[in-house]
A and B are shown apart, each in its own frame.
Chain A
Amino acid sequence: MKLLQCPVNGTRPISEFTYGGEYREAPDPQTSSDKIWADYVHNRHGSPGLKKEWWYHGPSGTWFIAERNTLTDNVSRTYLFGQEKDA
């Protein structure tokens, strides 16, 4: 069984979690061009590597960030959004 560390509830089975996609900065919709906005809406960094991702712990309703290597599936650390420095 795969396990994942929830920053609030500790290590839990992966079946309790939902993947929320890569963490990405949104461009300002008021000032960005149509091309930049379309790129943000559709395109993804598809190649493998260490990524910051959103994950959700279902039973406790916790959204958090996991840093995961998408080639090896190793999670290096997890933390609540905005608490990167304390992790």
Chain B
Amino acid sequence: MPLSLLKYALSREHPAPRFFRDCTEPKKTYDAVIIGGGGHGLAAAYYLAKDFGITNVAVLEKGYIGGGNTGRNTTIVRSNYLTPEGVNFYDASVQMYEGLSQELDINLFYSTRGHFTLAHTESAMRTMRWRAEVNKHVGVESYVVGPEEILKACPQLDISCSGQAPILGALYHAPGSVARHDAVAWGYAKEADRMGVEIFQNTEVTGIDVKSGKVVGVQTNKGYISSGRVLSAVAGFTPRITEMVGIETPIVIHPLQACVSEPMKPWLNTILVSGSLHVYVSQSSRGELVMGSSLDPYEVHSTRSSLDFVEGLSSHIVDMFPFLGNVKVVRQWAGMADITPDFAPIMGKTPVEGFYLDAGWGTWGFKATPISGKTMAETMARDIAPELIKSFRLSRFEEYELTGEKGAASVGH
């Protein structure tokens, strides 16, 4: 290393740039309090400041920013869902992602790869055709392809899947992308902070104060903060927060696990998903294969990972790519997914005035980060539900108007 560079690094005149201020003491009152410093909460803070000029905002994060599900997903961004409301919503998110690196002035490594959802059975092919038609109707580029086109994009794939479950075709989704997930949280944090939003890490909400059906403040381990607007954007911790305000929801928590292989030279240019084999795989810009599977089978509020998961996932990955038999798994982890019965989020107003919910993100939250931040900011600023998220309201359950979404990660049809 040249000596001049070292001198620059140690110079007081050129301190290393911080992404956001190191806030420790919260003020007594804020115009809005956001619980959860993941992508969703930070994006909501950013759009509150940018779109509505509300900058007197505190983001309270129990751990460190982006340390929850924002940093635990498999970074896939796509919009090839099954219901028109789902496709419209996620398509708006994909479009925002495409310009987000410029907007936030940070390199998100946003990389459009194309996305194949493999079908191994006739009934899966039927669902792929259904999804393609819904997508095309809404103006999203998805269509059904045969084995030849899949092999053209990924010649390494064993199309017979070791004879166990031959691939009949796939739903191809051109805008399917991957991005650096922690950079999304850091980018939103940086820009929100620049506009005046205060971000508090290691700050845990221990209670929420509700008076005559209206939220008035939150109790934290750093004292009481009063605010008439509180957003909960805490994914796997949602039931603990809703319990504080006395709201019932259908959310249950299941761990969702993922892992990465050792780094390899680039060979996998596309994103592959198989609902039947319960795997999704892409290659990161570092060369690791990023692999995920379906939910753990029962409720646990923990981020422990298990050997069962890597064993099961590896056997399916080797069915698809026999040559990976000698490749090692180097890291595995889990996130707590907040699952809803209709595989759609719960967004918007709640029976408690001033308390807003951005939850039920299960296995589909990362791809929705920009649009959920934008729509939740509008919900908080104007106390109304924007058109795009009306069908995701909490009251849909007691009205029996569930969304019927099943295009979520690796869910069988």
A residues near B (Cβ < 8 Å) are 1-2, 15, 18-19, 22, 34-35, 38-39, 41-48, 51, 53, 70-73
Contact = CB atoms under 8 A, between A and B. Distances in A.
Contacts of A53: 298
Contact of A70 (B238, B300, B308): B300
Interface of B: 238-240, 242-243, 248-253, 297-302, 304, 306-308, 338, 341, 397-400
A2 B298 CA distance: 13
Given A42-B341, A43-B248, A73-B300, A48 B397 contact: no
Contacts of B238: 46
A46 B239 contact: yes
A85 B297 CA distance: 29
A46 B398 contact: no
A19 B298 contact: yes
Contacts of B252: 44, 46
B240 A35 contact: no
B250 A38 contact: no
A44 B251 contact: yes
B250 A70 contact: no
The 4 closest A-B pairs by CB, nearest first: A46-B239, A19-B298, A48-B301, A42-B397
11 contacts: A15-B308, A19-B298, A35-B398, A38-B397, A44-B250, A44-B251, A46-B238, A46-B242, A46-B252, A72-B302, A73-B304
Nearest to B244: A47
Given A15-B308, A48-B240, A43 B302 contact: no
A46 B337 CA distance: 12
Contact of A46 (B253, B297, B304): B253
A42 B398 contact: yes
Given A71-B301, A73-B304, 11 more contacts: A1-B307, A19-B298, A38-B399, A39-B248, A43-B248, A43-B250, A43-B397, A46-B239, A46-B250, A70-B301, A73-B300
Nearest to B398: A38
A2 B299 CA distance: 15
Contact of A73 (B251, B302, B341, B397): B302
Contact of B302 (A2, A45, A71): A71
A39 B399 CA distance: 11
B308 A43 contact: no
A6 B239 CA distance: 30
A70 B398 contact: no
A29 B298 CA distance: 28
Given A39-B248, A43-B250, A18 B240 contact: no
A61 B166 CA distance: 32
